[in-house]
Structure 1
Amino acid sequence: MAVAQKLQRCAVSQTGRHTASVIFLHGSGDTGQGLRSWVRDILKQDLAFTHIRVIYPTAPARPYTPMRGALSHVWFDRYKISRDSPEHLESIEDMCSQLSAVVQEEVRAGVPKHRMIIGGFSMGGAMALHLACRYHPEVAGVFALSSFLNKDSVVYQAVQDRKGQCLPELLQCHGTADELVFHQWGEETGALLREAGMAVSFHSFPDLYHQMCRAEMDILRSWILKKLPPDSPPHGQ
C-alpha cells in the first residue's frame, strides 16, 4: 500500500473519560464536516457520548471515473457503479492505509481495537467493510448505511478466511426507496457476508431514499452503546 497521508477530520469529543472510539466515514462527494452536520441536523444535536469519541475523516479529492475523471472527495475509485464491476483495488488499498493511520492514532491514545467501531454512509460503508474486515477484524463492530459491496468483493473472501475467528458484527440500514436497486444490493451484501460467517443485522426503512433518518440514527446510537458500553474498564485494568 502507498505511504499513509494524514487525513483531514473533525471529531465530537467524549464528555468524560475516553475509553472507546467510532470512526464514521462519509459518502461520495461529501466531507467529514458535512457528515457531522447532517447527523446533527437529523438528531438536533451531535452524535455524542460520555466515553466515546466520534471521528469524521474526510476523503482526499481524487479523480472519480463515474464523474468522467472530475475531482471528488471519494474513498476509492469505481470503474462504474455496478455490483458486477470489479473493484478498483489500487485506490481501496491506498485508502485502507490512510485510514489505518486513524485507527492507530486511537490505539496510541489508549483505545484498544476491541473498543472501536468503524462505519459509514453509502461509499463510506463499503470502505468501512474493507477496512474492518480485511485489516482490523478485532474492532467491536462495523456499520454500513445505504451501502453495498461489489458482487466479487475481496471482503467476502477475507471474511470466509476468518470464519470461526475474530470478526466484527455488522449493522446494516437501508431505505427501501433507494435509487436504482441499491436496497436489493445492500440486502445481497448482507446475505453474502452472513453466509461467509459474519453476524449481520439488517434494518429496512420504508419510503426512505438514499439518505439517513432519525429512526436509523436511534438504532445506530443504541447499537453503538451495546457494542461499546460505558462501564467497560480501560485496557489493561
Structure 2
Amino acid sequence: MSRLGAFHVTKHTGGKHSATLFYFHGSGGTGENMKEWVRLMVDFAFPHINVVYPTAPAQPYTPAGGLLSNVWFDRADISAEVPERLQSIAEIEKEVRHLIQKENEAGIPSNRIIVGGFSMGGCLALHTAYRWVRDVAGVFAFSSFLNENSIVYEDLQKSQHNLPPLLQLHGNRDTMVQLVWGQSTFENLKKLGVKGEFHILDRLDHSINKRGMNIIKKFVEEQLPPI
C-alpha cells in the first residue's frame, strides 16, 4: 500500500496523452499547494503531457524537531555538510519507482517522463534521474541541493551512461538553501557526466517565480515534444 498522500493532476489539453511530468513539492508542502503555486506563476498545461503533483508521506522530520511533516525523506539538518539518511531515502525510492512503473504500464515509457521539483522535491528528482530511473527524458531542480558526499555522486562514479539532461535554477537571495550548495551540486554532477544548464535568478529567495517556471516550461517542451 502506498504511503503517499493525495495526487493532483493538470491533465493534457489535447486529444492524446503521450508524456508525463512528475513535479515534487518541497518539505512541508502538498501536491495541491504545489499545483496552485505553479498555476499562479505560469500556464503549466500541455496538449500531450499530464503534470502530476504527488504528496509526500507524513512522517517525523528531524529539522522540524521530529514533528510530522509531509516530506519525501528525513534529513539530519538542512545543510550540505551532514550525512544523508539513506534508509529514509530508500523507503521513498520504492514509491517513486512505483509511480513511474504505473505510467509505463499505462503506455508512457520512461523516456517520455520528466521528473522535477522544488527544494527537497528537486533533490528527490536528482536521486530519481541519476540513481533509480536513468532513462527518463530529463530532470529539473528548483532551489535544491545534494549533500556533499551524496550517494548520487557515488552511484554516478560507478556508471555514467545514458544520463538525462539537467535543468537547475536557484535564487541568488535564497536564505534557506544557499546558492553555493546548488552550484556545487551542479558542478559535481557535471564532472560525473551530466549535461545541462544552471540558471541564477536575481533577487529571488527560497521560492519559485514566473521567470524560472517559464524556463522550466521551455525545457519540458524541448525534452517532451509531441509524438
Range class of TM-score, shorter chain: over 0.9
| Pairwise CA distance, 1:200 | 2.4
Matches within 5 A, 1:13-92: 13-16=11-14, 17-43=16-42, 45=43, 47-92=44-89
Q: Conserved in 1, the CA contact under 8 Å of 2:171 and 2:205?
A: yes
- Give the gaps of 5 or more residues in structure 1: 233-237
Large movers: runs of 4+ above 6 Å: none
Q: What SS does structure 2 have at the residue aligned with 1:173? A: strand
User: Structure 1 residue 126 and structure 2 residue 123: aligned?
Assistant: yes
2:111 alignment counterpart: 114
1:176 corresponds in structure 2 to 172
Structure 2 residue runs without a partner (length 5+): none
Deviations 1:86-124 (A, max 9, x none): 000111110011111111111111000001000100000
Secondary structure of the corresponding residue to residue 170 of structure 2: strand
Structure 1 CA distance, aligned partners of 2:4 and 2:182? 31
Q: Does the Cα contact within 8 Å between 1:26 and 1:56 map onto a contact in 2?
A: yes
Give 1:132 deviation, angstroms. 1.6
Aligned equivalents of 2:203 and 2:13: distance in 1? Answer: 36
Question: How many percent of aligned residue pairs carry the same amino acid?
Answer: 44
> Higher mean Cα deviation, 204-213 or 154-163?
154-163
Provide the residue aligned with 1:235 in structure 2. none
**211 and 180 in structure 1: CA distance in 2 versus 1, 3 angstrom threshold:** closer
Cα RMSD, aligned residues only: 1.2
Q: What letter matches 1:36 in structure 2?
A: K
Which residue of structure 1 aligns with residue 141 of structure 2? Answer: 144
AA in 2 matched with 1:40 = R
1:181–1:12 CA distance, 2 compared to 1 (3 A)? closer
The 2-side partners of 1:188 and 1:198 are apart by 13
* Partner Cα distance (2:103, 2:125) in 1: 16
Structure 1 residues 176-195: Cα deviation after superposition (integer angstroms, max 9, x where no partner): 00015611100000000000
Paired residues, what number?
Answer: 226
How far apart in 1 are the matches of 2:46 and 2:156?
Answer: 30
